[in-house]
Amino acid sequence: MKNIKFALLQLSCSEDVQVNQQKTEAKIREAAAQGAQVICLQELYRSVYFCHKQDAAYFDLAEVIPGPGTDTLLALAQELKVVIIASLFEKRSKGVYHNTCAVLDHAKGYLGKYRKMHIPQDAGYEEKYYFTPGDLGYQVFDSSYGKLGILICWDQWYPEAARLTALKGAEVLIYPTAIGWDNQETNSEINREQYQAWQTVQRGHAVANEVPVIAVNRVGEENGQTFWGGSFVTNAFGRVIYQASHNTEEVAVVEIDLDAQEQYRRIWPFMRDRRIDSFQDLTKRFID
């Protein structure tokens, strides 16, 4: 059995970047003290979710990757002998920015980055104003504790993204996330439906690809939204083995058997039975 302990840091954020950074570093230490080997941070952990509106001043939050920010996290990873998955606002060049995850490995150093491929645009989620769609493709990072497939938030809704990452050998899919309820929406049934859809589609990715899924969301109220927390982990067949609350900060350490993927794929051979000869139309917007 290849049992790896993953930590999910479900935290609230303030306008003060330094306060957020210090709190996150303290929680990373707390997770490592609990035995975590891979520590997963929420989407854009260093700031409030600034995409609630279009404001050019927020571009000042962006940083070069790799750079001083990832250097700080790498030093922490090396001290604690962990892998840190950090979601950051990347400045690629003047006028070109990405929503990016960096992977910092205590033994192997900076493993690289994944740039968010699917960029939403909706009321309260003005991401196309800030982020250029990713151009590095779907990636798997061969870390000291397993092959990590990293996707980001809006990527969660696309089975193609999960499939392509799984086909590259991911032993786990990890989704840093920032998603919540509009405070003007008071219908609890609608809110419940939204959360259930969000979790269900990701559990479907776990089942279809027979790979564990980790989704780590932020929590708390920011600019007219209540981020719904609810971070969770599934096993390699979609069974929820951990779920966080909707309204409190949590540091959870969850052990996952990465070798179980082999057993599920033997019993339910979805990967074997894929009719890849019939999938050409997936590259079309619609089929006429």
For residue 253, give the nearest of 32, 24, 74, 86 by alpha carbon: 32
Longest dimension (CA), the chain: 56
DSSP-assigned beta bridge partners for residue 253:
7
Residue 43: active-site member: yes
Residue 153: active-site member: yes
Residue 13: active-site member: no
120 vs 216: CA distance, rounded Å: 18
5 vs 252: CA distance, rounded Å: 10
Is the N-terminal amide bond of 133 cis, ω within 30° of 0?
no
DSSP-assigned beta bridge partners for residue 220:
227
From the list 51, 127, 153, 222, the catalytic residue is 153
96 vs 103: CA distance, rounded Å: 21
From the list 5, 23, 113, 116, the catalytic residue is 116
Residue 123 Cα distances to 17, 97, 120, 126, 180, angstroms: 24, 20, 10, 7, 12
Q: Classify 144 in phi/psi space as left (phi over 0), alpha (psi -120 to 50) or beta.
A: alpha
From the list 5, 13, 23, 43, the catalytic residue is 43
Secondary element (H or E) of residue 25: helix 17-33
Residue 160 Cα distances to 28, 152, 211, 262, angstroms: 31, 14, 14, 21
**Residues catalogued as catalytic:** 43, 116, 153
